[in-house]
Amino acid sequence: MSEAVSSPVSELASEPGAVDPLPLTGERTVPGIAEENYWFRRHEIVYADLLPRCAGKTVLEAGSGEGYGANMIADVAARVTGLDYDVSAVEHVRVAYPRVEMVQGNLAALPFEDASVDVVVNFQVIEHLWDQAQFLRECLRVLRPGGELLISTPNRITFSPGRDTPLNPFHTRELNAAELSELLVEAGFRVDVMAGVHHGPELAALDEKWGGSLIDAQIERALAGEPWPADLAADVAAVRTEDFVLRIPEANPAWDPDIDASLDLVAVAVRP
């Protein structure tokens, strides 16, 4: 996107001992960039709300990217291992987040023993994979019986509405809730939760301010290559994690009743 403006999240990059950020390629979310703050916070809410499921556990984050999420998990987990195919990301995490044990490898053939971890975390990654079914089978293999796969992905219905191919050029296949559930069940999982990420009241007000969609307002400026209006830049930079709502229902089956209107899908799948 276009040039950054100062914001609370940009202060992360100037903290004592901070390392140089990974380049912004469009394929992953990077903290510390004001104009990326909306997407960063939208990803962060899922980590924040699902952290209790990682408490005291041996956790693998498959597709750990920049590493900020694995570092959050390290606050509560007994052990966190990150896995990423990108060598530069692996090296970055080793320097920036030393509590995370990093491994370079392919998600289609996880380099871990059978039944070796309690939790696999996979947030905003499966939509990038060519063989999603194979990856899920690998997750099942490395989980201990009763272990959980925590997974999130953009909701195809709202992320690429009315399209046969994903809007994002880095996505191979996007899913709706029924498709994600079907993939998980076919891989051998039991789906215990299917939740959705939604805008809370503050973001709903910003949607109204920006002609119905804060997301569209950002994408429009980015695709046009135009400078952002100062008030749009300020609104995006001020978005907080708590401005998003992750609706995890208690009913059985535990599906968010508004799942098809959600921004991102969040599933908790269990190895029987």
Q: What is the pLDDT of residue 253?
A: 65
Using DSSP's 3-state secondary structure scheme, residue 111 falls into coil
Distance CA 23, CA 44 (A): 19
**Domains located in the chain, CATH noted:** 34-200+244-271 (3.40.50.150)
Q: Choose among 188, 150, 129, 143: nearest CA to 265.
A: 150
* 130-161 tens-digit pLDDT: 899 999 999 999 999 999 999 999 999 887 67
Distance CA 33, CA 24 (A): 9
Exposure on the CB side of residue 217, measured as CA atoms within 13 A: 21
| Mean pLDDT computed over 7-26 | 49
Distance CA 128, CA 140 (A): 19
Location of structure tokens 């599906």: 255
Q: What is the pLDDT of residue 57?
A: 98
Q: What is the pLDDT of residue 27?
A: 57
More confident: 128 or 105: 105
Distance CA 240, CA 250 (A): 25
- Lowest pLDDT segment from 9-18, 39-48, 156-165, 240-249: 9-18
Q: What is the pLDDT of residue 254?
A: 78
Q: How much is the mean pLDDT over the chain?
A: 88
* 162-173 tens-digit pLDDT: 666 766 676 778
* 198-246 tens-digit pLDDT: 999 999 999 999 999 999 999 898 888 888 999 999 999 999 999 999 9
Q: What is the pLDDT of residue 161?
A: 72
pLDDT exceeds 90 at position 17? no
Using DSSP's 3-state secondary structure scheme, residue 113 falls into coil
